[in-house]
Amino acid sequence: HRSPLNDFQRLRATQLLAVPADPPPPPPERGSAEQCARRCAAGLACRAFHHDRQSQQCQLLPWTQHSPHVQLQKNIHYDLYQKKDYLRDCIVADGSGYRGTRATTEKGLSCQHWQATTPHDHRFLPSPRNGLEENYCRNPDRDKRGPWCYTVDPDVRHQSCGIKKCEDAVCMTCNGEDYRGTVDRTESGTECQRWDLQHPHKHPYHPNKYPDKGLDDNYCRNPDSSERPWCYTTDPGREREYCRIRRCTEKRPRPLNITTGCFRGKGEGYRGRVNVTVSGIPCQRWDAQTPHRHHFVPEKYPCKDLQENYCRNPDGSEAPWCFTARPTLRVAFCFHIRRCPDELGAQECYHGHGERYRGHVGKTRKGITCQPWAAQAPHVPQISPVTHPEAHLEENYCRNPDNDSHGPWCYTMDPRTPFDYCAIKPCSGSVVPSILENTDAVEFEQCGRRDERLQRKGR
Amino acid sequence: IVGGQPGNSPWTVSIRNRAGVHFCGGSLVKEQWVISTRQCFSSCDADLAGYEVQLGTLFKDPGPGDPDQQTIPIARIVCGPSESQLVMLKLASPAALNSRVALICLPPERYVVPAGTVCEIAGWGETRGTADGSVLNVAQLPVLAHGECNAALRGRLKESELCTAPLRAGVGACEGDYGGPLACLTADCWVLEGVITPSRVCARTDQPALFIRVSLYVDWIHKVMKM
């Protein structure tokens, strides 16, 4: 049940360019990513391959991104798969599979080229199979201290390179939700299943669906706020298992917006004391297992402040939440906690709707820089100095050429946000006509009609 | 919805997170645009990959074979003017309109719903045991005049808020209904006059319920869809 892709690290929409390409890579062949991985794993010279998802073609490559005269380049047609052993800067087990480019010993001595026999003669000569290349640290004799090399210092024949084990190389803080290291085995040594595969275990954590969870390849991750990083295993008999990863000792303050009177974003930093759901049900204490059993035991989540029965967000949900004291309602969001304002302070003010505003604020209320009115990118403007000569559309200053009732605005330099309002507020006392009383008879078309019969019958 | 009953509201959508869990409501105002409330979303430039809207079914968690169910990924979120607490969600593809999925009308700009108009809220939120929580529930609420509501709230009412009168029986929106519609029948069409926002208590019997007054932001809504 192990996929041949498990030996590879994937870079999406990326191509490896070798200049000049010598020897030229072999011609592309047909095949799925897994078939190409199998071919590449079998071939000694192959270290990576491009896979074109569209044409289901792949091109085996004798180099990686760490090879000389090679560079990575964006290319939406390809995914680049590279053998992990050539990319990892840490070792698995005794590191006999290590193929990285470290070339100094743990004491800082430069390594002697394996090809050379001076200053130290030896019998470990390079071959296509043993990976002894250049003067890189290697472990041809499975030394339990890991990769080593002969040194260029005549007085020091050989020395360990001190390359860390992968489980120690990248440590984890809190529950490891932000762990992005390259451990791909569970604590019992079982290899992890790739997140982008649904076999041997089907699962909901598609990398595309959870872009912020780092679900790369088959590395241990913590997408569901478990106690620590884990993975689905390649053992059909065991769905998932925790991984062993060193906990960071250095006190790295977690960059969390701690708030008490309101919550920001998803409220993971909310540390206030609201402890009732909006429907008036008290929250269940986090250190209690009744009426609802759960795994959010406070001592296992030291960073989440699961105190008392306060609303909290230990698992990255939409908002702070809690287990409820009512047996029939397991959890409830605490959306009634106010959201913290997330806008820039107003730098200037405007009268009326701001149609005569002539100030020089050129930022939106979220702090995004305004696009110049005369520019055509990133947004092609429907309103411009040409179409509205009288509106003083100068530079990228906020203006209100269409008498928008919510004030001056601008096109923004953020490709995803065509326009937004600015960090300018109505001047106090500026009279905005209050809501009009009923306007004259209104007409609607193609909307707001429903089959009332369904209303009575439901379904 | 507390104090409601199962009903049909073909413009009410269920907004679901990456785990497929319903967490807020919304209203379909164009085939590819849904209106909801800012309170439901972590930020104005949140990456909503994996988030979806569900339409065309009365069930909160329909079975796989539900005939008219449509599930459409959310492509973008656009936040409304500062004090509006509104967001617009652009869907990755247009919804197919049919007897189960319909657009709700937008009111004329700055239109005021006459006091006493009986409007309807809809949602898959908490019913507090007053109805079947697995289906869409609706409830009727009468609109309260702005001045009267302002007096009841001791002057704290904002221009951007619309009130409905408290009912003795305890009828109102609750957790999970936020972002859903307050729809009023005007000229034989259902019009989105309010958006449900979180309150500290559900279905109060002693205070008016507050909604976002949509008619104040109709110009912004049209501008977003145009741009």
Q: Which two tokens stand for residue A145?
A: 């201290």
Nearest to A167 by CA among A117, A220, A126, A235: A220
A361-387 pLDDT, tens per residue?
A: 999 998 899 999 999 999 999 999 999
Specify whether the CB–CB gap between A222 and A228 falls below 8 A: yes
Query: In chain A, what residues touch B213 (CB-CB under 8 Å)?
Result: 435
User: SS3 of B39, please?
Assistant: helix
Q: Which residues of A touch B65 (CB under 8 A)?
A: none
Distance (Å, whole) CA A107 – CA A90: 17
Q: Are strands B161-164 and B137-144 parallel, antiparallel or unpaired?
A: antiparallel
3-state secondary structure B98-151: CCCCCCCECCCCCCCCCCCCEEEEEECCCCCCCCCCCECEEEEEEEECHHHHHH
Residues B149 and B157: their CA atoms lie apart, in Å, by 7
Residue B37 has, within 13 A of its CA and on its CB side, a CA count of: 29
Q: Flag if B135 and A438 touch (Cβ within 8 Å).
A: no
ipTM associated with this complex? 0.88
**What DSSP letter does each residue of A70-112 carry, written as one string?**
EEEEE-TTEEEEEEHHHH-SSBSTT-TT------B-TTSPBBP
Q: Which amino acid is at A10?
A: R
User: What per-residue confidence (pLDDT) applies to B63?
Assistant: 87
What pLDDT was estimated at residue A54?
Answer: 86
What pLDDT score does A455 carry?
54
Chain A residues near residue B99 by CB distance under 8 angstroms: 451, 454
A390, A399 contact by CB (below 8 A): no
Residue A250, pLDDT score: 65
If you write DSSP's letter for every residue of B43-97 in order, what string do you get?
-TT---TT-EEEES-SBSS--TT-TT-EEEEEEEEEE-SGGG-EEEEEESSPPPP
> CA nearest A208: which of A225, A223, A193?
A223
From A292's Cα to the closest Cα of chain B, the distance in A is 18
Contacts of A442 in chain B (CB under 8 A): 107-108, 111, 186-187
Q: How far apart are CA A3 and CA B105, in angstroms?
A: 53
Per-residue DSSP letter, A327: T
Distance CA A399, CA A362 (A): 9
Q: Which two tokens stand for residue A411?
A: 């096109």
**In chain B, pLDDT over 70 holds for what percent of residues?**
100
Indicate the residue of A317, A379, A436 with minimum beta-carbon distance to B112.
Answer: A436
- Inter-chain CB proximity A279 and B202 less than 8 Å: yes
CB-CB neighbors (< 8 A) of A317 in chain B: 17, 23
pLDDT for B221 beyond 70: yes
* CA distances to A404, B34, B106, B219 from B222, in Å: 11, 12, 9, 5
Determine which helix (DSSP H) or strand (DSSP E) holds B152, and give its type and residue range: helix B146-152
- CA B48 to each of CA A270, B44, B122: distance values in angstroms, whole numbers, following the listed order: 21, 10, 24
- Residues A335, B226: C-beta atoms closer than 8 Å: no
C-alpha distances out from residue A449 to A18, B140, B189, B191, Å: 62, 17, 6, 9
Nearest in space to A413 (alpha carbons), one of A378, A388, A440, A385:
A378
Contacts of A343 in chain B (CB under 8 A): 82
What's the one-letter identity of residue A413? Answer: M
Tokens of A73: 């380049």
Which two three-digit tokens encode residue A164? 């860390």
Cα(A115)–Cα(A126) distance, integer angstroms? 6
Cross-strand partners of A321: A312, A333
User: Coil, strand, or helix at residue B226?
Assistant: helix
Helix (H, G, I), strand (E, B) or coil at A303: helix
Note whether B227 contacts A418, CB cutoff 8 Å. yes
Diameter of chain A measured on Cα atoms: 100
Q: C-alpha angle with apex A293: A291 to A296, nearest 5 degrees?
A: 125
Structural tokens at position A386: 């040409």
Contact B126 A451 (CB under 8 A): no
Can you tell me the distance from the alpha carbon of B193 to that of A182, in angstroms, rounded to the nearest whole number?
A: 53
In sequence order, the β-bridge partners of residue A52 are A57, A78
| Predicted pLDDT of residue A38 | 93
With residue A167 as reference, give the H or E element that holds it.
helix A166-169
Among candidate residues A45, A51, A39, A41, the one with its CA nearest the CA of residue A14: A51
Q: What is the pLDDT of residue A427?
A: 87
A20 C-beta neighbours (distance < 10 Å), count: 6
Dist. CA A425–CA A343, nearest whole Å: 11
- Residue in chain A closest to B42 (alpha carbons) equals A265
Mean pLDDT across chain B: 94
Residues of A in contact with B9 (CB under 8 A): 450
Between the alpha carbon of residue A171 and those of residues A175, A180, A228, B71, the distances in Å are 11, 9, 11, 40
Q: Element (H or E) spanning A33, and its range? A: helix A33-42
B103–A446 CB contact, under 8 Å? yes
Interval B142-160: pLDDT, tens? 999 999 999 999 999 998 9
In the structure encoding, which two tokens stand for residue A225, read together?
């706020």
Confidence (pLDDT) at A458 = 47
A379, two tokens: 């947004």
Q: Tell me the chain A residues in contact with residue B126 when contact means C-beta distances shorter than 8 Å.
A: 278-279, 329, 332
* Minimum distance, in Å, between the CA of residue B151 and any CA atom of chain A: 17
**The token pair that represents A305 in the structure block:** 């402040």
Question: What is the rounded distance in angstroms from the CA atom of residue A275 to the CA atom of residue A303?
Answer: 19
Which of B33, B35, B39, B59 best probes binding to A when mutated, by most A CB atoms within 10 angstroms?
B39
Q: Which of B89, B39, B60, B7 is nearest to B210 (CA)?
A: B39
3-state DSSP call for residue A163? Answer: coil
Cα–Cα dist A418/A420, whole Å = 7
Q: How far apart are CA B182 and CA B190, in angstroms?
A: 10
Closest-CA residue in chain A for B38? A339
CA distance A408 to chain B (A): 11
Interface contact A366-B198, CB threshold 8 A: no
Low-confidence stretches of chain A (pLDDT < 70) are: 20-23, 250-256, 429-442, 452-459
Q: What is d(CA A325, CA A317) in angstroms, rounded to the nearest whole number? A: 20
Rounded distance, CA A145 to CA A208, Å?
39
First to last CA, chain B: 35
User: Who's near B151: CB < 8 A, 6+ residues apart?
Assistant: none
CA neighbours closer than 13 Å in the CB half-sphere of residue B125: 36
Tokens, residue A205:
């954590």
A49 vs A35: CA distance, rounded Å = 11
Q: What is the pLDDT of residues A139-190, one digit of tens each?
A: 999 999 999 999 999 999 999 999 999 989 999 998 999 999 999 999 999 9
Structural contact between residues A353 and A433, judged by C-beta atoms closer than 8 angstroms:
no
Q: How close is the nearest chain A Cα to the Cα of B152, in Å?
A: 19
- pLDDT of the residue at A454: 55
